[in-house]
Structure formats: structure tokens, C-alpha cells
């Protein structure tokens, strides 16, 4: 890593980065956790999968079914063998079968958060948790995961619990079959690299440069710099070096850090910036560690990362108010437990009273290990001996119905434009209600009150009548509107539906809770009402439709725990997309 004045190396093309990422995944699948690959199904993706299989050179390459059962994923008790032998016999699951190789998860953007959490636990520990019906620790599962992401935007992405642990990320949506190049890496090269990898060293200056790049790119994850360091060592081993070089650190930043960027670092200091403070005397400030460190290393690593930031990534994050899809992980909470209907989520000990259904297979699994002992106790019995403690009842979970509550600012000179947006969004959402069991409601606030213009309904005719007669103009009783929305949401929740609140306002209140004018008191009351809304645990979205994003609207959204989306040029379609990101299953 020595030698000042080195030029920044020519950055590899997107296809070359993809080849290198596949090689790193095959070199040591468990070291970096895996690769999140955003690419549609087609020749580009299939070519990379074929090269991965070739580079793994016989190591396991398994595909993960989207609806895999826990018993097949984790393994557990082999019921037939256990009943035949009279003793517990375990079977290997998919995770154990993939030990030392790669598990390919197709359509990862649709992966359930529960499955993502189980995969994350395996990536963290390197082993499969022992099944409940077996004793001891589970089998080893040191795997890498290739998450195939076919999502069209950041709102459609694999669960953050999984992508946080996948060191490599690539977006190949812009490539075509014409970009596919001949194979450039041979499996024998990986064999030599695996031999060299344990002895590869990395200097402190390279580690500091990677950490500085994380800060400059706005990456808050503590895993990212560790993954970048591992990638740099693997790149050095692949290149035949004994220590990490500048180009290894730069390429690691491009592969690991660039796709996680949340801000664009300043390319250079502006011309009108104030001059830097005077430097101390070189003799007095001499630092042996800094003396050997190349002055341009931080810039080289950061420039490599900036050049590799996927096109449009920062623009999409900005359009989402600076938030990524991490906020959607709570959608699992919209699933309600049920004893009779819905998707099966396993079984639990219990009896079949109160309408519960007996899980026959799970009951047999619980009873099977004890048959030899029970036959000794009761030699006169024949067949299976099942006792009360063996009973397992099925557990189900079903998605609750949703009610989308629009709370629209009908005050001021721009009210007509906001109401037109709300009317269009309500019509779009109502069109889906015939397929989804959803309801839509509308609260408009103006002057000194908040009016329930459209109670929760699925009727398109009733909605059209209410929307056509909606008035506009006047003051802004924001606190009253938030309180009315919370009360309506509480009533909706009592009926077993999941409320989702959509506020359309600039956040500037001028009427307080008592109906008196005054901006200061009105804004304080609005903040208190927003805090109470957050305490109720309601899902909310605040759409700021002002010509310019308003500080008051952003602060209000933060106080109520809502997602903030500034949409100065919002139309019905964009409002509908923003609401769709808030709701489950859209």
C-alpha cells in the first residue's frame, strides 16, 4: 500500500464487476454472507448462475423454494424411520445440504420476513438450530445466499434482515445478452486463492479508507466496513497477492459500499469554500504512521465507490424521503392469528376444544420417540400409544382486512389541487376493493373542524357522491384532524380491520384544539396530537404536496412516526403508489 501519486485505476465494467462478485461468492460462500442480485429473468442472469455453478466446482448449489416448509428447510424428525426403529431418527434439511455452498433464493423481493429472519440466523451462527423434537445442537450450515431480486424499485426488495447480511450487491437491470463476455476466471484460480486467503494481510490505512468511505456515503450499518475488508482480502487472494493493494480496496468499495450509498459525497471542495486552517509545523506534527500512509488513498477508495453507485439509486432514495425499504418490515404484524382459517404456520401443544383442529402429523411426531418406552410400560397394548401430552393443534394465520383513511387538508388557496389528487387516489384504491376486501374513508379539515366526508366504504357510488360535493378553503385545524383520524382508526380496528392513515397536508396549522386562531399554539397542539397518534401504534403516511418540501410537515411526520413523502407535483397515480408501499400485499 505504499507509494504516493498512484493513479486511480480504470473502474471495471458492470459485467466485469458481476463476474468478480460471482467469483468471490464461489471463493468462500460464507465469508461475505452472499450476493443480492437485482436482475430480471433472462440470459444475463442465467449466464451468471451457470458460471457460479462452474466456479463452485462441485460444491453444493441448491435452490430455495418460495413456500418451503420448516421441516424441509431445517430438517428434523424423520417420522417414518422413527416409527420403524422406535427411536428418534433425524433427517437433513435444505440448509444442512447446502453446507459449504450457495443457496439460491428466487423472487427474494417477495420473501416473507419470517423466512428471512431464519436465514439471517443461519448466516450469523453458521449452523441450523436443532429441531424442537430432537436434542443437541443442529448441523453446520456455512452457506452463502444468492438472493435474486426481480423488483422494479426500492420498494420491492428483499427483506432488510437478509440484505443487511449479504456483503455483495449488484444491479444488472441495464445489461443485455450483448454484454456477456467470455469466461475470465478458471476454477483452478479459486483453488489457489483459497490456499492463499488465510495469509492475506491488510494494512490499517486501507481499513481506515474503507471506513471513511462508509461515512462519506452515508452508510450506517456496522457490517458494511467489515464486509468490505473481507472482500478486499479475497480480491487480493484472487489476484495472487500476499497483501491488500490499493486496487483491491477500491474494488471492494465498489462492490460492497457503493450499492448501499444513501448520499452523494462531494466530488471536490467548491471554489468559494473558505481556505483550510493553517497547518502546524511539519517538524512538530510529525507522525510516523501518517508519514507512511498515501495521502490519496481515501480519495481513491471513495472515488471508486462513487463511480460504482447504481444509476438512479440516490434519486430513488430522495424520492422516498431518504428512507429505504427497511420501514416495511413491520407488515408481518398485519397478520392475525386464527384457529380455523388462513395459512398454516405450524402447530402447538394443546387439545381440540373450542374449534381447534388436530394436527395429525405433528401429533405423531411428538409421540413417535416414546413408543419403545411406552410399550415396555404397557406390554399388553398394540399399535401406537398416544397420550394427552402428544396432542398438537394446527395454527393458522390470515391477513386482516384493510381500511385506508385519507385525511386531506381542504384549506387554503391550493386546496382544490390537493382535493383533486385525493379524489383520484380514492378512485384508484376503490377499484381494487372488489378483489381485496378493503375499505376507504375520507376526512377533510378546514376552517375550525374536521369532517368525515366519506365513512369507511367499498361502494364506488357512495364515494363519488361524497367527493363531488367536497368543499374547500379556510383555516387549518390540523390538531383536530389528527385527533379525528385517531378516533376513526380506533373504531376501524375494533371491527377487526387494519387502519392505514394517509395525511395530505403541508403541516402548517393555524387553528388550535379549542378552535382559536394562532400559529404557535396550533402547531404545538398538532405536535401533541401527532405524538398521541404515534403512541397508538398506527401506520401512517404523510404526503407533503406543497410546492416546496415543508419543514413543519417533515417534523410532524417524524413526531407521529409516519413515513414522509414530499410530492410537490403529486397526481392520483403517484399518491396511489405511495399508499401502496404503506399497505400489505400491494
> Which CATH number goes with the domain that contains 203?
1.10.8.80
| Cross-sheet strand order for the sheet of 343-349 | 335-338, 392-399, 343-349
The predicted pLDDT at position 272 comes to 44
DSSP 256: I
Identify whether 253 is part of a domain. Answer: yes
* 321-360 residue pLDDT tens: 444 443 343 343 344 444 455 566 677 787 665 557 778 8
Residue bearing cell 458494511: 224
pLDDT in tens, the chain (586 residues): 433 333 444 557 888 888 999 999 999 999 999 999 988 888 888 999 999 999 998 899 999 987 787 778 888 777 667 766 667 777 788 998 999 999 999 888 888 888 888 899 999 988 887 655 555 566 788 999 999 988 766 567 788 889 899 999 888 887 888 888 877 788 888 989 999 999 999 999 999 999 988 888 888 888 999 999 999 999 999 999 999 998 999 999 989 988 888 887 754 444 444 455 554 444 344 444 444 445 477 777 777 777 777 665 555 555 444 444 433 433 433 444 444 555 666 777 876 655 577 788 888 888 888 888 888 888 888 778 888 788 888 876 655 678 888 888 877 645 555 666 666 666 666 666 555 667 888 888 888 888 888 888 877 677 777 777 766 677 889 999 999 999 999 888 888 788 889 888 888 888 888 888 888 999 999 999 998 888 888 888 888 877 777 888 889 999 998 888 876 655 566 666 666 666 554 4
Identify whether 274 is part of a domain. Answer: no
CA dist 454 to 14, 267, 408, 412, Å?
Answer: 51, 51, 12, 21
Assess whether 384 and 258 both reside in one domain: no
Within 13 A of 213's CA, how many CA atoms are on the CB side?
38
Secondary structure (DSSP) of 195-239: HHGGG-B--HHHHHHHHHHHHHTT---SHHHHHHHHHHHHHHHHH
Cα separation, 113 vs 153, in Å, equals 18
The predicted pLDDT at position 441 comes to 85
The alpha-carbon radius of gyration of the chain (Å, integer) is 29
Assess whether 171 and 224 both reside in one domain: no
Region of residue 184 (phi > 0: left; psi between -120 and 50: alpha; otherwise: beta): alpha
399 pairs with which residues across the strands? 335
* Mean pLDDT of the chain, nearest integer: 77
Assess whether 97 and 110 both reside in one domain: yes
The predicted pLDDT at position 311 comes to 62
Q: Give the list of residues 6+ apart from residue 315 with CB closer than 8 angstroms, or none.
A: none
445 Cα distance to chain centroid: 35
Grid cell of 19 as nine digits: 463476474
Q: Which residues of 243-259 are buried (b: 16+ CB within 10 A; e: fewer)?
A: ebbbbbbbbbbbbbbbb
Assess whether 219 and 116 both reside in one domain: no
Helices (DSSP H) in 217-351: which residue ranges? 223-239, 246-252, 288-291, 297-307, 313-319
Assess whether 405 and 311 both reside in one domain: no
Assess whether 458 and 511 both reside in one domain: yes
The predicted pLDDT at position 328 comes to 40
Cα separation, 32 vs 22, in Å, equals 12
Assess whether 481 and 548 both reside in one domain: yes
The predicted pLDDT at position 575 comes to 63
Q: Is 492 buried (19+), middle (13-18) or exposed (0-12) by CB count in 10 A?
A: buried
Assess whether 180 and 190 both reside in one domain: no
First to last CA, the chain: 50
Q: Is 569 helix (H, G, I), strand (E, B) or coil?
A: coil
Identify whether 272 is part of a domain. Answer: no
Q: Give the list of residues 6+ apart from residue 246 with CB closer than 8 angstroms, or none.
A: 1, 6, 9, 206, 294, 297, 300
Strands 402-409 vs 438-446: parallel, antiparallel or unpaired: parallel
Total tally of structural domains belonging to the chain: 4
Prediction pTM value: 0.56
Three-class SS of 169-204? EEECCCCCHHHCCCCCCCHHHHHHHHHHHHHCECCH
Assess whether 470 and 540 both reside in one domain: yes
Assess whether 140 and 48 both reside in one domain: yes
**Residue 225 belongs to what domain range?**
186-262+295-317
Check: CB of residue 406 under 8 Å from CB of residue 426.
yes
Secondary structure (DSSP) of 66-124: TT--HHHHHEEE-HHHHHHHTS--EEE-HHHHTTTSEEEETTGGG--HHHHHHHHHHHH
Identify whether 98 is part of a domain. Answer: yes
Assess whether 192 and 76 both reside in one domain: no
Closest CA to 109 of 43, 155, 69, 42: 155
Amino acid at each position: 500500500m505504499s507509494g504516493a501519486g498512484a493513479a486511480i485505476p480504470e473502474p471495471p465494467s458492470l459485467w466485469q464487476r458481476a463476474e468478480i462478485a460471482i467469483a468471490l461468492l464461489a471463493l468462500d460462500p460464507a465469508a461475505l454472507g452472499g450476493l443480492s442480485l437485482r436482475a430480471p429473468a433472462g440470459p444475463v442472469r442465467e449466464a451468471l448462475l451457470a458460471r457460479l455453478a462452474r466456479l463452485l466446482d462441485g460444491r453444493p448449489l441448491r435452490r430455495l423454494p418460495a413456500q418451503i416448509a420448516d421441516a424441509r428447510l431445517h430438517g428434523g424428525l424423520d417420522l417414518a424411520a422413527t416409527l420403524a426403529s422406535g427411536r428418534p431418527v433425524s433427517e437433513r434439511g435444505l440448509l444442512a445440504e447446502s453446507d459449504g455452498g450457495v443457496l439460491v433464493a428466487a423472487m427474494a423481493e417477495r420473501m416473507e420476513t419470517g423466512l428471512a429472519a431464519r436465514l439471517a440466523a443461519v448466516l450469523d451462527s453458521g449452523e441450523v438450530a436443532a429441531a424442537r423434537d430432537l436434542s443437541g445442537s443442529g448441523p453446520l450450515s456455512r452457506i452463502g445466499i444468492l438472493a435474486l431480486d426481480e423488483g422494479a424499485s426500492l420498494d420491492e426488495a428483499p427483506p432488510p434482515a437478509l440484505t443487511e447480511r449479504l456483503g455483495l450487491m449488484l444491479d444488472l437491470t441495464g445489461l443485455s445478452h450483448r454484454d456477456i463476455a467470455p469466461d475470465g476466471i478458471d476454477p483452478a484460480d479459486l483453488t489457489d486463492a483459497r490456499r492463499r486467503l488465510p495469509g492475506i494481510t491488510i494494512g490499517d490505512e486501507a481499513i481506515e479508507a474503507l471506513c471513511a468511505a462508509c461515512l462519506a456515503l452515508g452508510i450506517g450499518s456496522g457490517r458494511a466496513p467489515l464486509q468490505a475488508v473481507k472482500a478486499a482480502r479475497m480480491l487480493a487472494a484472487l489476484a495472487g497477492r500476499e497483501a491488500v493493494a490499493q486496487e483491491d480496496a477500491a474494488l471492494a468499495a465498489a462492490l460492497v459500499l457503493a450499492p448501499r450509498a444513501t448520499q452523494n459525497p462531494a466530488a471536490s471542495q467548491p471554489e468559494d469554500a473558505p481556505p483550510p486552517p493553517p497547518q502546524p509545523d511539519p517538524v512538530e506534527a510529525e507522525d510516523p504512521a501518517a508519514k507512511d500512509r498515501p495521502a490519496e488513498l481515501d480519495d481513491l477508495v471513495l472515488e471508486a465507490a462513487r463511480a460504482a453507485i447504481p444509476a438512479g439509486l440516490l434519486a430513488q432514495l430522495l424520492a422516498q424521503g431518504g428512507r429505504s425499504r427497511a420501514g416495511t418490515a413491520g407488515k408481518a404484524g398485519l397478520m392475525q392469528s386464527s384457529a380455523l382459517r388462513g395459512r398454516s404456520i405450524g402447530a402447538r401443544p394443546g387439545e381440540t376444544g373450542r374449534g381447534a383442529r388436530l394436527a395429525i402429523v405433528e401429533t405423531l411426531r411428538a409421540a413417535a420417540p416414546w413408543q419403545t418406552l411406552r410399550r415396555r410400560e404397557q406390554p399388553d397394548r398394540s399399535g401406537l400409544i398416544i397420550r394427552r401430552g402428544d396432542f398438537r393443534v394446527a395454527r393458522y394465520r390470515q391477513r386482516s382486512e384493510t381500511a385506508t383513511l385519507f385525511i386531506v387538508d381542504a384549506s387554503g388557496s391550493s386546496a382544490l389541487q390537493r382535493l383533486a389528487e385525493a379524489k383520484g387516489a380514492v378512485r384508484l384504491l376503490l377499484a381494487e376493493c372488489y378483489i381485496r376486501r378493503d375499505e376507504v374513508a375520507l376526512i377533510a379539515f378546514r376552517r375550525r373542524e374536521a369532517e368525515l366526508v366519506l365513512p369507511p366504504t367499498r361502494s364506488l357510488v357512495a364515494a363519488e357522491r361524497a367527493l363531488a360535493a367536497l368543499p374547500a378553503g379556510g383555516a387549518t385545524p390540523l390538531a383536530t384532524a389528527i385527533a379525528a383520524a385517531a378516533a376513526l382508526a380506533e373504531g376501524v380496528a375494533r371491527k377487526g380491520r387494519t387502519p392505514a392513515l394517509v395525511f395530505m397536508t403541508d403541516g402548517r396549522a393555524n387553528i388550535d384544539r379549542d378552535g382559536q386562531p394562532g400559529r404557535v399554539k396550533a402547531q404545538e397542539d398538532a405536535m401533541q396530537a401527532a405524538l398521541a397518534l404515534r403512541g397508538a401504534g398506527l401506520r401512517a403516511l404523510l404526503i407533503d404536496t406543497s410546492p416546496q418540501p415543508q419543514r413543519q410537515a417533515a417534523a410532524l411526520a417524524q413526531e407521529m412516526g409516519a413515513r414522509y413523502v414530499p410530492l410537490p407535483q403529486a397526481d392520483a397515480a403517484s399518491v396511489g403508489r405511495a399508499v401502496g408501499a404503506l399497505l400489505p400485499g400491494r
